[in-house]
Amino acid sequence: MAEPQVRVMLVDDHEVVREGLRTLIGRQKDMVVVGEAGTTAEAIETAAKAKPDVIIMDVRLPDGSGVEACRTIRETRPETKVIMLTSYADDEALFASIVAGAAGYLLKQTRGQAVVEAINAVAQGRSLLDPDVTGKVLERVRKGRGDEDPAFASLTASSSGGRRASSAHAPRPVPIHPTRRRESAPARPGAIARAPG
């Protein structure tokens, strides 16, 4: 009996990005694209109908934030895993993705094979988030906000406390080292096609 395919949904407002991902996933025997969306509203509606296992979600969408769409979708269907996709990495975007329940965070210049591996990893219930990086980001944001929200402290404690155990079992994450917001580096051969902006 054939293994069930991983049901993948693509959310990006640039057709060229979705087309690149669609082609990449179409070459995988164990994956199938079950839905696409270009806005936050479409993403939430399509996810409810398509019931994907994994969503690749652009952080920035025309009508809102992909992070908010991630949160809404995960609240309704927690079994759906979301990988946030963006042109750059920064502390705030990574922190927001973690709090929204994202299972991973990839740059658009990530090579195609790494994207496939990321989809497989989160579909199997593993996280792409490096525990060390996650802990540092949460700690930095928590201190920056003066401990005004107890959720920050509990998230930081959970990340730090679970670091040793999770590191032993987690796959090698796609390394996303948060920095100050910067311009994207030129895409390498085999990377996901990116639209300007």
Backbone angles phi, psi at 16, to 5 degrees: -65, -35
Tell me the Cα Rg of the chain.
16
What pLDDT is attached to residue 64? 93
Per-domain residue ranges for the chain? 6-128
The reported pLDDT for the residue numbered 151 is 46
Q: Which CATH class is domain 6-128?
A: alpha beta
Residue 139: name the closest of 158, 161, 156, 121 by CA.
Answer: 156
Q: What span, in angstroms and rounded, lies between the C-alpha atoms of 45 and 49?
A: 7
* pLDDT of 27: 96
pLDDT per residue as tens digits for the range 78-132: 999 999 998 877 777 778 888 899 998 888 888 999 999 999 999 999 988 766 6
Distance of alpha carbon 27 from alpha carbon 38, whole angstroms? 22
Q: Residue 57: what pLDDT?
A: 96
Whether the per-residue pLDDT at 195 is higher than 90: the answer is: no
Distance CA 193, CA 157 (A): 38
CB under 8 A, 24+ apart: contacts of 142-151: 151/99
Report for 44-58, 79-93, 137-151, 175-189: range of highest mean pLDDT: 44-58
Q: Are 32 and 53 in contact (CB under 8 A)?
A: no
Of 54-63, 95-104, 132-141, where does mean pLDDT reach its minimum?
Answer: 132-141
Map tokens 């994202």 to a residue: 102
Among 18-22, 35-39, 56-60, 109-113, which is the least confidently predicted range? 109-113
pLDDT band for position 159 (50/70/90)?
A: very low
Mean pLDDT of the region 40-63: 97
Record the pTM.
0.72
- How many CB atoms sit inside 10 A of residue 175's CB? 11
More confident residue, 151 or 67: 67
Residue 9 and residue 54 in contact, taking contact as beta carbons nearer than 8 Å: yes
State the pLDDT at residue 152: 45
* Helices of type H across 77-188: 91-100, 112-123, 131-144, 150-161, 163-169
